[in-house]
Amino acid sequence: MASQSEKRVHIATFGCQMNAYDSARMAGMLAQMGYAQVERPDQADLIVLNTCSVRHRAEEKVYSYVGELKRLKRERPWLLIGVGGCVAQQEGDSLLKRLPHLDFVFGPDALGSLPEMVTQAARGKRLALTSLGAPARPVDIIIPAEPGLKAMVTVMTGCDNFCSYCVVPYVRGRERSRTAGEILEEVAALVDAGVREITLLGQNVNSYRDPDGGLDFAGLLARVDQIKDLWRIRFTTSHPKDLGQGLTEALAGLDKVMEQLHLPAQSGSDRMLKAMNRGYTRAQYLDLVRRLREMVPQVALGGDIIVGFPGETRQDFEQTLSMLEEVGYDFLYSFKYSDRPFTRAGRLEGKLDDETKGRRLVELQALQRVLGLQEHQAQAGRVEEVLVEGPAKHGQGLMSGRSRAGRVVNFPGPPELAGRLAMVRITQGRENSLLGELASATGER
């Protein structure tokens, strides 16, 4: 068994950026207990899974991963295994009953209790902490030892929208915003540690309200914008029904707020949008996009689409395809509908077979590849400000970074540019990136 000073943890993260953020906080708390992070589960004395149940496939992956850990536990009987995140919240202590090799289970609200759970589990106790909405034990602001150029900061958790297909309100609970003071403190500490780009996270950032004074999300952006030595701000996700004028003005007017917006539509058919309980029509969504583009012409839009929602006809699906053409998304996350526990859609009639859903998904993604390429090709000739992250993954001598709109830009340049801003003339648009050449002097803001 490992001694105190040699403790090692492997954290396996599934799902969204919120989970990635929570995993970083888990790593920080465990580091304070003397746990160093390791890459592989077979090197660890403690394995923590941070799970996702938003889609059926994501949940299946979690179960197959947990199943494989049984062998490790047999070989290393001192190994502790904990499951956190949305699957933990959804299944509660039934997970402990079903999977005897698990030591503890904790929902997203119990994150702050992780050190205590590890201590108890090491004493041989098996426990589950999954009550939602209970006052969460606060997690100290934890700045990683090597934070890099970019970091995420959660501004709110949970969701009150109850889209009919979505499990989030049941596993993440109702909306709760962090105070602006706490958020600003965390961003400032990250910037002091060298971070230059912050992504503010929430299931629906437009519902943000500072519990200490009522500041809204546009107001919060204005405050974050004033933090010295921070260069770039992004945020995700925005619910179209809540995207107001204030936020559009912040996108247009605040220099550090990047021209990128993730605005999930989910469908282009009014019938489906109603059944999904999305709270807007196709015309309202398209009107929002038109107004946004008027005020922020360079904005790059991202979307989410669900294909094969119960009752979706070929006609409904074609309306989604035509909406893709009207909007011109820069990037698109698309998924086949799957039943989720607790949800209204799970009880609807008119479920589509997997083959039809699969065919529609392939068709939609093929169209998006063409449209996304057109969006990228239209960037040729522009000069873009790029935050250079380091050498490109592919292509010798190329450096890589992101434009203000969030597009990957690769260009020939010296390695010393890493961590700096460069002006790059775009020469070619490709499917997933842009190619360019260094245009002018580089530096900091």
Query: Using CB under 6 A as the criterion, which residues of the chain lie in contact with ligand SF4 when the complex forms?
Result: 159, 161-163, 166, 168-169, 203-204, 239
Residues 6 or more apart whose Cβ sits within 8 Å of residue 35: 7, 8, 9, 45, 46
Residue with tokens 């602006």: 180
Residues in the chain: 445
Residue 387 CA to residue 424 CA, distance in Å, equals: 10
Nearer to ligand SF4, 154 or 400 (CB): 154
405 within 8 A of 299, measured Cβ to Cβ? yes
* Shortest distance, position 390 Cβ to ligand SF4, whole Å: 33
Separation CA 439–CA 422 (nearest Å): 8
Minimum gap (Å) between residue 152 Cβ and ligand SF4: 17
On whether the CB atoms of residues 15 and 4 are closer than 8 A, the answer is: no
* Residue 156 · residue 208 · CB < 8 Å: yes
Structure token pair of residue 226: 């004033």
* Number of CB atoms found within 10 A of residue 209's CB: 17
- Closest CB to ligand SF4 among residues 48, 263: 263
The burial class, CB within 10 Å (0-12 / 13-18 / 19+), for 67 is: exposed
Q: 225: which 2 tokens?
A: 């914008």
* Nearest distance, CB of residue 54 and ligand SF4, angstroms: 8
Q: Which is nearer to ligand SF4, 175 or 389 (CB)?
A: 175
Rg over alpha carbons for the chain, rounded to the nearest Å, is: 23
In the complex with ligand SF4, which residue's Cβ is closer, 175 or 384? Answer: 175
Residue closer to ligand SF4, measured from CB, 81 or 156: 156
Do 195 and 151 touch, CB atoms closer than 8 A? yes
For residues 278 and 270, is the Cβ–Cβ distance under 8 A?
no
Minimum CB–partner distance for residue 166 and ligand SF4 (Å): 3
Q: Report the residue number, 9 or 345, with the smaller CB distance to ligand SF4.
A: 345
163 or 220, CB closer to ligand SF4?
163
- 65 or 162, CB closer to ligand SF4? 162
Tell me the three state secondary structure of residue 215.
coil
CA distance 251 to 257: 6
